[in-house]
Chain A
Amino acid sequence: MARRRSRGAILDTDGRGLGSVPRVTTTASTTEAPPDDGLVVVVKQDCPTCRLVAPVLGDLGATVYSQDDPAFPDGVAVRDDTGLDASTALGIDVVPTLLRREGGVETARAEGWDREAWRGLSGVADLGTDLPEWKPGCGSRTHDPEVADALLVRARGHELTARRVELAGLEDEAEALYDRGWTDGLPVVAPTLPRVLRMLAGTTREPADVVAVVPPNLVPATVEKVAVNAVLAGCRPEYLPVVLAAVEAACTPEFNAHGLLATTWGASPAVLVHGPVARRIGVNAGGNALGQGTRANSTIGRALQLVIRNVGGGRPGEVDRATLGQPGKVGLCFAEDEAGSPWEPLSVARGVPAGASAVTVFAAEGAHGVVDQISRTPSSLARSLARGLQGVGHPKLAPGFDAVLVLAPEHVAVFAEAGWDRARFTTELDALLLRPPEELARGAEGIEEGVPEPTGPRPKFRPGGLMVVVAGGGAGKFSAVLGGWVGGQGGSTPVTRVIEEA
């Protein structure tokens, strides 16, 4: 009988790959491969239908594999498939399964006990006369959640090339990961092989693809490496395309992540998600959009920060020289409420095709609220918001740092009801943010800080230095300002990337 190595045997690891789920016995690699020609039956003892058919298996002349108990069934030669190699190679979904192979190819299959089918397939005319005509089978052990991870690692573990680190048995995993310097100070999810493989299932990209060269150490980050950090951050696999796009955007020269990291100022990369992907994966654009409690918001921005920390080598006290920092440095991610907004989405204003998904990465401090519960006219409310924006960096520095204005629904409604669209709002705000020299000059208003010898009115923001987004809960006449950092060539420019696979 010709022997052929099963797929499982070829792909089997040396045991290192089993991660935390060593429930499949290591006899897997010694499982004898199915014959190229002849009948094969796969059974498990823990299945009433398998026990029912056990007495007739000796009549078949078949190769019998047992998934759980190599001593079952009694009275026939049984091959031990407790490692599930043969079952995986044969694609077994149900036990018992009877199948015929010819020239190494399966030509017929019967699942569960079906007397006529088994008789036809085996050619044994009086097979199972004493048995009922039909009895459904049980699920194959290959689908048992307890072993699915180990099988995943066996099938795809070879695609992972990141260094494998074995934690000692007595190490607490959360402590061990923190001690290795891999976290931002909060606990992380241990990036085991099954978890990273499941994360990689979130993208169509190959694990070895280089996503970006990550500052400050200018290290190429592969899809796999980003996936490892996405696991650490607590992401779900469906977030991975967003994380990949955010990493790509943050590592462009115009975003200047190295400068943003190294500056003593506290801003850090924030991620704004646009388009249908936001709703599909659950990025919050509504109540508490800038706060805690939504997994996508809490983990996507964190994954980007962990990539910069772990892959790029950007750590506080080293290249990160922030004087104070701010809580958004753990990671900040939210979405624009495109469905609820009366305006065209920011992404469309930035050139993304309508209906496409994208991310914009920008430098951001923590949010600073602006209250106006009285204004009912757009001109009054615009003045309030301009005052709120004036404080970015310092009220007397203009142009100073970039910023993002997050308009909550009750505020944007005031403008929409008065017929102001995004462009009109921006124009009106720009006019209000043009500040006179006597207000800005060093020494003016008793404050030494300010613009040195201004000769005319100066805009608070450089052209393109203020982005306006609609997000937030339905109640509250508030908006929020996310101050940024130096914009443009001498600092950081927001970068938008379409998510091709979303």
Chain B
Amino acid sequence: MIVLDPTDESRPAARTVGPRPDDLTGRTVGLLDIAKPRGEVFLDRLAELLAERGVTVRRYAKPTFTRPLPADLRAEIAAECDVVIEALAD
């Protein structure tokens, strides 16, 4: 039997995460708040801990957690940071 493929027919190459840095010294870490309640509590503490280690921290926030990250913000984070930590909280 021959059937028609109901999918988008793309078998995307498996996505890989970037190489993991050995340490964060001298690197820029982005902290992304997805705008869920109390996400900032977690990120504020992370920012303190990273600052103690001499890491440059940049903060970002999604306008709302209910929609995908705006493409411009994604590009901005990719251009400005070596590492990103995303806070999902409630």
Contacts and interface: CB of A to CB of B under 8 A. Distances in A.
Contacts of A193: 2, 4
A306 B4 CA distance: 14
A192 interface: yes
B3 A190 contact: yes
Chain A interface size, as a band, is 35 or more
A212 interface: no
Interface stretch (B14-22, B25-33, B40-48, B61-69): B61-69
Contacts of B7: 182, 310-311, 313
Contacts of A489: 64
Interface in A287-316: 306, 310-313
B49 to A, nearest CB: 28
A162 B4 contact: yes
A20 interface: yes
A19 B1 contact: yes
Interface in A235-291: 256, 258-259, 263
A225 B66 contact: no
Interface in A373-398: none
A173 interface: yes
A164 B8 contact: no
A310 B10 CA distance: 11
Contact of A306 (B3, B6, B9, B67): B6
B8 A190 contact: no
A486 B64 CA distance: 12
Nearest to B5: A163
B6 A228 contact: yes
Interface in A129-167: 160, 162-167
A108 interface: no
A490 B66 contact: yes
Contact of A259 (B3, B5, B10, B67): B67
B68 A191 contact: no
Contact of A229 (B6, B9, B10, B64): B6
A16 interface: yes
A208 to B, nearest CB: 14
Contacts of A191: 3-4, 6
A177 B6 CA distance: 10
Contacts of A190: 1, 3
Given A217-B8, A219-B8, A313-B8, A165 B2 contact: yes
Contacts of A177: 3
A335 to B, nearest CB: 26
A219 B10 CA distance: 10
Contacts of B68: 216, 258-259
A48 interface: no
A50 to B, nearest CB: 34
Interface of B: 1-10, 64, 66-68
Sorted from nearest, which 4 A-B pairs have the closest CB atoms?
A: A163-B5, A162-B4, A219-B8, A310-B6
26 contacts: A17-B2, A18-B2, A19-B2, A162-B6, A163-B4, A163-B9, A167-B1, A182-B6, A182-B7, A191-B6, A193-B2, A196-B4, A216-B68, A217-B8, A225-B8, A228-B6, A232-B6, A256-B67, A258-B67, A259-B67, A263-B66, A310-B8, A311-B7, A311-B8, A312-B8, A486-B66
Given A256-B67, A258-B68, 11 more contacts: A18-B2, A162-B4, A162-B5, A164-B4, A167-B1, A167-B2, A192-B1, A192-B3, A310-B7, A310-B8, A490-B64
